[in-house]
Structure 1
Amino acid sequence: MEIAIRNHTGASSVQVSDAVFGVEYKPGLVHQVVTAYMAGARAGTKAQKNRAAVSGGGSKPWRQKGTGRARAGTSRSPLWRSGGVTFAAQPRDYGQKVNRKMYRGAVRSILSELVRTERLVVVSELALEEAKTKALIALLKSHDLTDALILTDGFDDTLYLAARNLPKVDVLSAQEVDPVSLVAFETILATEAAIKKLEERLA
């Protein structure tokens, strides 16, 4: 299939694989992979001490009988002040298993849907003379874009610096693309070289 290249010199297009940019949209698979990707980003670093983890409390506070007080085996009981927590929270891994075939299938599905809905804008190249936010805003405005993920074939320091103050704009290389980034933006603005690298990665 062909995707039109939007440039100011004339009409042209780039030939891409139907197996990457022309597959059926699978919302269930996309939802599963996006959910798993976001779950994997959770730290899960919470921890409380149970009665075994609280220091001290090794000896019995008082003898079993004869004191008139309730029997107690440790001063680190959850009933006591400075004791352990009854159901103590422990570090947790929120990761979900997603194999490579599912992951790539979800990315292909998202890209294909972006092409069908005309939300994938391809240009021959993207270049800024200096890392100025104003210059990037003008570049996006020339393509009628305000909410966009910019894809390049490699890390572009100038574009990255120009975009970091824009809340609805981000810059990624074709090697860094993930399902969450693809669904988070209204439009994807990609260079022709980035499209080719994506095709190689997902073929």
Structure 2
Amino acid sequence: MNLNTVNGQTLEVSEVAFGREFNEALIHQVVLSFLSNGKQGTKAQKTRADVRGGGKKPWKQKGSGRARAGTRSSPIWRSGGVTFAAKPHVSEQKVNRKMYRAAMASILSELVRQERLVVVDSISIEEPKTKQFKAWLAANSLEGKVFVVQEEITENVYLGARNLVNVALSDVLALDPVTLVNADKVVVEVAALRKIEEMFS
């Protein structure tokens, strides 16, 4: 199959990487796995058993006129434990390499079908300035959430784009399914495209 660059050049690319059928279930599984594996899993709170104190009964069961109480660590007391306390846990979801590659190829293919994949020869920014990078985006009619993929991120592009909230940068090896799915436009340099084709074919 063929892809056209912004400059009108026609590139022949692998149909396995850029012409695959859309597999929503597989993409969903891979995206969930990516998000789950990104969690730190160290959130922790104290239950009534973990908080300090609470050993002695605060007052006798009957006769005081107050509500009965067995421990100061009860969740309904101030400085008591948390009722359903969070505990550290690993939420890792494994996806094998074949499934991951198939999902990434499916995402890339859908980007091509929806004309959200923009191929450029190279991103030429003379100086590391946000103004210049914004001008480059405007010149190529790139609006909304823009995901820029280079074979290796150049210093001028990194420094020019880092203050822009709607622009994300990545090299080929750090591609992730979530950013690809969320982007309105994915800008890929030709050198990066060839590397992606090699990875997911």
TM-score by length of structure 1 reads 0.83
Q: After the TM superposition, which of the residue ranges 185-194 and 47-56 deviates more from structure 2?
A: 47-56
Post-superposition offset of 1:41: 2.7
Match of 2:147 in 1: 149
Distance 1:167 1:4 in 2: 28
Taking a change above 3 Å as real, the CA distance of residues 80 and 200 of structure 1, as seen in their structure-2 partners, is same
Letter in 2 for 1:15: E
Partners of 1:146 and 1:169 within 8 A in 2: no
Taking a change above 3 Å as real, the CA distance of residues 131 and 56 of structure 1, as seen in their structure-2 partners, is same
Letter in 2 for 1:90: K
RMSD of Structure 2 on Structure 1 (CA): 2.6
Distance 1:62 1:21 in 2: 69
Superposed CA deviations along residues 36-69 of structure 1, whole A, max 9, x for unmatched, are 32233334443221233223445x448999x867
Match of 2:117 in 1: 120
Post-superposition offset of 1:2: 2.0
Post-superposition offset of 1:79: 5.5
Taking a change above 3 Å as real, the CA distance of residues 80 and 139 of structure 1, as seen in their structure-2 partners, is closer
Distance 1:78 1:140 in 2: 55
Identify which of 142, 148, 157 aligns with 1:159: 157
Q: Equivalences for 1:91-110 in 2 at 5 Å? A: 91-110=88-107
Unaligned 5+ runs, structure 1: none
Match of 2:6 in 1: 6
The reply to whether residue 52 of structure 1 matches residue 49 of structure 2 is yes
Match of 2:177 in 1: 179
Unaligned 5+ runs, structure 2: none
TM-score by length of structure 2 reads 0.83
Q: After the TM superposition, which of the residue ranges 80-89 and 192-201 deviates more from structure 2?
A: 80-89
